[in-house]
Amino acid sequence: MLGFLIRRIIQSVFVMLAVALIAFMMFRFMGDPVNSMVAETATTEERDAVRERLGLDQPLYVQYGRFVARAATGDFGLSWRNARPVSTLLAERFPATAELVLVAAGLSLVLGIPLGILTALRPHSFSTQALQLMSLVGISLPTFVTGILLILVFSVWLGWLPSFGRGTVVDVGWWSTGFLTLSGLKALILPSVMLCLFQLTLIMRLVRAEMMEVLRTDYIKFAKARGLTNRSIHFHHALKNTLIPVITIFGLQLGGLIAFAIITETVFQWPGMGALFIQAVSFGDVPVMAAYLVLVSLIFVIINTTVDLLYAVLDPRLRVEGARAAH
């Protein structure tokens, strides 16, 4: 188990170094950083002085090393667009995205798993076929279209829910939360529904496929041959085997949610990191793009490592192999 953990962490470090390399290349080769630092009228001497001060005259690997060292402390320099520190910009935006993603992830699990089980256990019933069709529509519906439809129905026509922003937020330390006010909670509903729908259909289909696969295995047949009740076979024997692979996929999904939050935040003008990233892409604001990339990659890597560890804890087969490897 310990060996496994160390291997995973070393792997993660390499992935992060690769991502940092991409971010560094963006910094170094997209546009001239010096241009953004000096006045347009600067002389060549002044430019060279800035170049030297920024360390741009050093060999590339030294620059890369410095970049990694600064990135590790969260220092990505100033945004080219509004000249504020990138780390401050991201820190301001992080809570909005985190709350949105967590609520959407929770919704997709709470609804997706039971629906997946239902459709696996009654493959021929009308409700299953209806859900299957709906999930196919759900996968084919572009998420932004879903969002627009939600706004059209619940904000424009019915006027029940707000269509943009976070409502009133409360600051808890540096974290601004929308969980504590009614308007904050109401503002969260439509964006999180939009964000969760796609993941919900994926989880539902995945649980269904896994469950049907497990129900065909010999050990389920043997459990039936021993006269165990359907309840025990479905919810004790099958579900446990179904959920182990679902956890892995859910980890990847969480990463997907962060990426899809970019779209949700654009539709609902949600003041999160995704909206910031889109602005950066359209303006070619390299420091913000690079910092977002590194931060999101870091979150991915942490999630993936956690999921792998969780998997090892949950699956007794892996648990023992891990224990053996540790001896």
Partner 1 sequence: MTDTTQIKTTPSALTRLWNSDVAWNFRRSWTARISSVLILILFAAALFAPLLATQNPYDISQLFLLDSELPPAWIEGGDPRYFLGTDEQARDLYSSILYGLRLSLIVGFASVALAAVVGISLGLLGGFVGGMVDGAIMRVADILLSFPAILVALLVNGIARGVLPPERHADAAIWVLILAIGLTNWVQYARTVRGSTMVERQKEYVQAARINGVSGMGIMLHHILPNVLGPVLVIATINLGMAVLTEATLSFLGVGMPATQPSLGTLIRIGNEYLFSGIWWVVIFPSVVLVALVLAVNLLGDWLRDALNPKLR
Partner 2 sequence: MTLLTVENLTVAFPGRSGTVNAIEDVSLSVSPGEILGMVGESGAGKSMTGAAIIGLIEPPGRIAAGEIRLEGQRIDTLRPDEMRRIRGRRIGAIFQDPLTSLNPVLTVGEQLIETIQTHLKLPKDEARARAIDWLRRVGIPAPEARIDTYPHQYSGGMRQRVVIALALCAEPRLVIADEPTTALDVSVQAQIIALLRKLARETGVAVILVTHDMGVIAETADRVAVMYAGRIVEVGPVAEVLTAPRHPYTRGLMASIPRIGARPDVLPQIEGAMPRPHARPAGCAFAPRCPVRIEICGQTRPDLTGHATRSVACHLSEEVPA
Find which of partner 2, partner 1, none residue 327 binds, CB within 5 to 8 Å per kind: none
The smaller minimum CB distance to partner 1, of residues 60 and 259, is found at 259
Q: Sketch the per residue contact string, 201 through 220, with partner 2: x for CB under 8 A, - otherwise.
A: ----------------xxxx
Phi and psi at residue 78, to the nearest 5°: -100, 150
Q: Which pairs from 89-92 meet CB under 8 Å and 24+ separation?
A: 89/276, 89/288, 90/273, 90/276, 90/288, 90/291, 90/292, 90/295, 91/174
Among 39, 174, 182, 226, binds partner 2 (CB under 8 A): 226
The token pair at 197 is 């729908």
Among 155, 241, 248, 306, binds partner 2 (CB under 8 A): 241
Tell which positions 24-43 bind partner 1, by CB under 8 A. 26, 30-31
Find which of partner 2, partner 1, none residue 246 binds, CB within 5 to 8 Å per kind: none
Least Å distance, CB 305 to partner 2, is 22
User: Look-up: residue for tokens 């619940």?
Assistant: 154
Instruction: Determine the residue type at 266.
Output: T
The smaller minimum CB distance to partner 1, of residues 131 and 233, is found at 131
Least Å distance, CB 252 to partner 2, is 22
Among 125, 127, 229, 269, binds partner 2 (CB under 8 A): 229
Q: CB-hemisphere CA count at 13 Å for 106?
A: 8
Find which of partner 1, partner 2, none residue 173 binds, CB within 5 to 8 Å per kind: none
In terms of C-beta density within 10 A (0-12 exposed, 13-18 middle, 19 or more buried), how is residue 293 classed?
middle
DSSP-H helix ranges across the chain? 2-29, 33-37, 44-53, 60-72, 86-121, 126-140, 143-150, 182-215, 218-225, 230-232, 239-267, 273-283, 286-314, 316-326
* Terminal-to-terminal C-alpha distance of the chain: 9
Among 260, 272, 312, 322, binds partner 1 (CB under 8 A): 260
Where do contacts with partner 1 occur on this chain (CB under 8 A)?
A: 15, 18, 26, 30-31, 136-137, 139-145, 148-149, 151-152, 156, 163, 252, 255-256, 259-260, 262-263, 266-267, 277-278, 280-282, 284, 286, 289, 293, 296-297, 300, 304
